[in-house]
Structure 1
Amino acid sequence: MAQPAIRVGILGATGAVGQTFVRRLANHPWFSIAALAASERSAGKSYRDAANWLSSRPMPEAVADMEVVPCTPDAVDADLVFSGLDSSVAGEIEADFAEAGFPVISNAKNYRMAPDVPLLIPEINPEHAALIDEQTWSGGGFIVTNPNCSTVGLVCALRPLVEAFTVEAVQVTMLQALSGAGYPGVASLDALGNVVPYIGGEEEKLDEEPRKILGTYADGAIQEADLAVSAQCNRVPVRNGHLACASVRFSDAIGPDAVEDAFRTYESPVDVSALPSAPERLVVVDNAPDAPQPRKHVYAGDGMTVTVGRIQACTVNHVKFVALSHNTIRGAAGGAILNAEQLVHEGRITPAVA
């Protein structure tokens, strides 16, 4: 569908997630970058001078000479804001923007588990967007979040199984890319030739977030899914791509063929084909014996598709598999942009009337 230009601001525009927002919004058919906001030390500089550009692709010329403004509502002239802010500052700043009437599409963790804030993946739980109606920011704005990057791949793989069967429990070992730690992230001497079996807060997010995302919306609230998740999270020396090695227990004896069929036949509860960032398939199956691999598969669906492989019977639970997702695209900026597109499609975000 044709869309009028919607002006967007990016909060935390100079950081790693902010830069991914910039790259993916630079030529977006619905959104135009109207404001780049960052900390006081960056405000007043050109984006070219303020951002330590991390991508191998050149900085988009359209934004290079834009002046970076402070992360305050009075400095940002836009119809909505994307937040790539660090969680240490995101809570207060995002609340200020919501109070000022802005739709805030956030990648930060601060409001994910708030009962009136959608933790949204359009192909999985679009009905949760109705939680926006329960928010009471005085200026009429709202906050919508996308899940943690480690949660996304797992939940995208679990949704087809939850729809087809009764899932009781999941054991998952996460192998998480270095880019998930932001920049400068993990020290090189800790990362090279090494695996770090600890990522602060990640295991707790994997315990909490899937139950909300896979829960049922009714009467203005989410009834969380009855699902146990046991997670172990490891930082591995890979640039992009989180790998989830999952073992699933069902209420009945479900086998690998039925699980593979559920992956292959899953359809989103809403038609997302009109959304510019939506991939053709949320989940694809690759039956190669050594798939999926970050180097080969992480950019499936322009980084928005989850690739599943190694679907096997499990001697502890019922079925085990491996799911790969792009942590900074589907798991961060790309997922947030898709959320905004869905909210535009629903009429919850519109251009300001001049």
Structure 2
Amino acid sequence: MSDYRVGILGATGAVGQKFIRLLEGHPWFNITSLGASSRSAGKTYREAANWIEATAMPESVSGLTVKECEPGQFPDVDFVFSGLDSSVAGKVERAFAEAGIPVISNAKNFRTDPTVPLLIPEVNPDHIDLIKSQSFTEDGSGWIITNPNCVAVPLTTSLKPLFDEYGVESVILTSMQAISGAGYPGVPSLDILGNVVPLISDEEPKIHAEPLKLLGNLEDGKLTHADFPVQATATRVPVINGHMLAVTVGLKKKPGSAEEVKELYRNWKSPIADLDLPSAPEYPIFYHDDERYPQPRMHADAEKGMRTSVGRMRSSNVLDLSYVAMAHNTVRGAAGGAILNAELLVRKKYL
């Protein structure tokens, strides 16, 4: 596999740092450029970044000079990962795409664009063909893809086997979201210690909308969204990593029993299982038979944080099924998911 030269936008932030940690030693992708705000530009990465990852800053990037997030500052990259805040991501990512530099984004700005793939490789790998409908450049060299909200990832992944086998009529869920999802410095300690905050601003609309695009049907270049209501309550809990979801689902076709559904999860096969992607987990969905599981502290880091864990499947007195799902929010739900997207794009020859 040829080496790809990679830039990271928003490199000094929490998501940018996660990209750097996860890309250290990657067999395909080499970080050659780092971008951040004007106050960091011109400094070495060691000088500019307040490193918050649990491992040491990689020597391979510590001496790189940070640049402003402008396409002209990134002449030596094959594509960029964007960990930019949504307040600036839209304008910057568009500029890169229009300059012929592909953008693989973690930001929300282009997720609802009908021509931009919102991608979970194990759920909707075919949606990458939406790239062909983008018009950032005349020759198609510049484009954008996005990964979903950090709750939409475990929710949609856990819904995928049910959606394909039974059809989904409705979903109700409560998310219990880790504090790392708020970035750095995050939630004030006096707000979260020994407490649960029952509102995360602007979170619930993303949870309502994104699974419908992810589970949509792409035909003749046009994406038709799935059609079922989602009602979410997003809460912040005093957990460091791992978003837990309590989900209740109404199904179009009724399963014979909860045990039948457990077997569906145990036997489910990822559509990218044979592509040998470096970041792909062996079990993208892992069903826990022990009813005490999954738990964020025990299972968020499973398979390098790329697994969605499911448990407590049972028949529901309201709708049809209830279960819990959990995934690492800053790995599977952010930087790690974007890296897996890039690997799929390599295999599908978009990179």
Identity level (%): 53
Structure 1 contact 35–78 (Cα < 8 Å) conserved:
yes
**Equivalent residue number for residue 344 of structure 2:** 342
Inter-partner Cα distance in structure 1 for 2:252 and 2:194: 40
SS for the counterpart of 2:5 is strand
Report the CA distance between 1:271 and its aligned residue.
3.5
Give the letter for the 1:267 counterpart.
Answer: K
Structure 2 contact 173–248 (Cα < 8 Å) conserved:
yes
SS for the counterpart of 1:94 is helix
SS for the counterpart of 2:173 is strand
Report the CA distance between 1:214 and its aligned residue.
0.3
**Equivalent residue number for residue 38 of structure 2:** 40
Report the CA distance between 1:63 and its aligned residue.
0.7
Inter-partner Cα distance in structure 2 for 1:192 and 1:273: 43
**Equivalent residue number for residue 286 of structure 1:** 288
Structure 2 contact 275–347 (Cα < 8 Å) conserved:
no
The answer on 1:144 being equivalent to 2:145 is yes
Inter-partner Cα distance in structure 2 for 1:264 and 1:319: 16
Report the CA distance between 1:273 and its aligned residue.
4.2
TM-score of the two chains, using structure 1 as the length reference:
0.96
Give the letter for the 2:288 counterpart.
Answer: D
Give the letter for the 1:7 counterpart.
Answer: R
Inter-partner Cα distance in structure 2 for 1:227 and 1:319: 16
Give the letter for the 1:257 counterpart.
Answer: E
**Equivalent residue number for residue 226 of structure 2:** 225
Alignment of 1:12-23 (within 5 A): 12-23=10-21
The answer on 1:301 being equivalent to 2:303 is yes
Q: Deviations over 1:33-66 (max 9, x none)?
A: 0001000000011111111111121000111111
Report the CA distance between 1:250 and its aligned residue.
0.9
CA RMSD of aligned residues (A): 1.0
Instruction: Give unmatched runs, 5+ long, in structure 1.
Output: 350-354
Q: Deviations over 1:19-46 (max 9, x none)?
A: 0000011210000000010000000111
Give the letter for the 1:186 counterpart.
Answer: V
Structure 2 contact 16–83 (Cα < 8 Å) conserved:
yes
Q: Deviations over 1:314-337 (max 9, x none)?
A: 101111000010000000000000
Report the CA distance between 1:270 and its aligned residue.
3.5
**Equivalent residue number for residue 119 of structure 2:** 120
Inter-partner Cα distance in structure 2 for 1:194 and 1:326: 21
Structure 2 contact 166–254 (Cα < 8 Å) conserved:
no
Q: Deviations over 1:100-150 (max 9, x none)?
A: 001100000000010000001111101100000000012630000000001
Inter-partner Cα distance in structure 2 for 1:278 and 1:348: 18
Report the CA distance between 1:268 and its aligned residue.
2.1
**Equivalent residue number for residue 91 of structure 1:** 90
Which of 231-240 and 220-229 deviates more? Answer: 220-229
Report the CA distance between 1:289 and its aligned residue.
2.1
SS for the counterpart of 1:18 is helix
Structure 1 contact 123–272 (Cα < 8 Å) conserved:
no
